[in-house]
Amino acid sequence: MNRKGVAELAGSAAVGAWTAFGVLALFVAGKKDSPRFLDHGLLAWSAGHRPKMAVAVARGLTATGTGVVPYALVVLAGLLAGRTRRQRLVGALLAAACLVTGQSVRYDVMELIGRTRPPYADWQTHASGWSFPSGHATTAALTAGLVILALCLRAPHGRLPLCLAAACWGAGVGLTRVFLGVHWFTDVLGGWLFAVGWLGAWLCAAARWLPARPVTGAGAPRPALIPDQADVTLEKHAPQDPHSRGRSRPA
């Protein structure tokens, strides 16, 4: 797919995700302290199905959705996306910038809406700040999306299992927040929608305005091949046989 097609597809995904996120945010902000949709039912189910082993696994998985792990993954994805040293550096910087700015904007949205978390009695792990949208869900989804983009660029063969693994990790981190009782499901859904919108906007902007050379490594066009001067001279001064015109010379 060419750059224009990528920009249009990414832009359409961003518009759709932002529209859905805006509707969900308005719906959640209407009654900040009341659960919505499946929120209450999923939280009640999680509270009643928490064997010790499942809680331990969920805590381990949710821990990978914050801290150094997401940043290491996005930098690795940026390095993987490039072919030359310059491309790898640009890719790593862009991937890290996408994650950092996404987290910053999400935090501002979280402060603006100010939704409270589920009751503290249901918590099975530490959490802080407001509830919507989920920070772990947003960060993991952004990271998974950047890793998948890098795999699509540099792994044309055998990328499907790796892409599925990245997607399952990103979704799993978000779901652990509900299972551990520190987020409503709509918080996690909001984080996923925010991540899709943010990634789509960045990819659309990169495809439209980022110079092709730092990204693709495209350099100046090669000059046309010029025949050797000696061959030109020999051909110019070669004896002309008037009887051989119209016939090819023997090899």
User: Which pLDDT score is estimated for 175?
Assistant: 96
User: Which pLDDT score is estimated for 190?
Assistant: 96
- Measured CA to CA, the distance from residue 47 to residue 119 in angstroms comes to 11
Omega before residue 239 within 30° of 0, cis: no
Tens-binned pLDDT, residue by residue, of the chain (251 aa): 677 888 889 999 999 999 999 999 998 887 666 666 678 888 888 888 899 999 999 999 999 999 999 999 999 998 888 788 888 898 899 999 999 999 999 999 999 999 999 999 889 999 988 999 999 999 999 999 999 999 988 776 778 899 999 999 999 999 999 999 999 999 999 999 999 999 999 999 888 877 654 444 444 444 444 455 444 444 555 555 555 444 544 44
User: Which pLDDT score is estimated for 37?
Assistant: 65
User: Which pLDDT score is estimated for 213?
Assistant: 45
- Measured CA to CA, the distance from residue 18 to residue 21 in angstroms comes to 5
Question: Do the Cβ atoms of 10 and 203 come closer than 8 Å?
Answer: yes
Token readout for 110 is 């979280």
Q: CATH classification of 3-18+40-209 is 3.90.550, yes or no?
A: no
- Measured CA to CA, the distance from residue 41 to residue 44 in angstroms comes to 5
User: Which pLDDT score is estimated for 173?
Assistant: 97
User: Which pLDDT score is estimated for 251?
Assistant: 46
Taking Cα atoms as reference points, which of 107, 96, 103 lies closest to residue 72?
A: 96
Question: Taking the domains of the chain in order of start, what are their residue ranges?
Answer: 3-18+40-209
- Measured CA to CA, the distance from residue 53 to residue 108 in angstroms comes to 35
What SS3 string covers 46-96? HHHCCCHHHHHHHHHHHHCCCCHHHHHHHHHHHHHHCCCHHHHHHHHHHHH
Give Cα 179 distance to the centre of its chain. Answer: 25
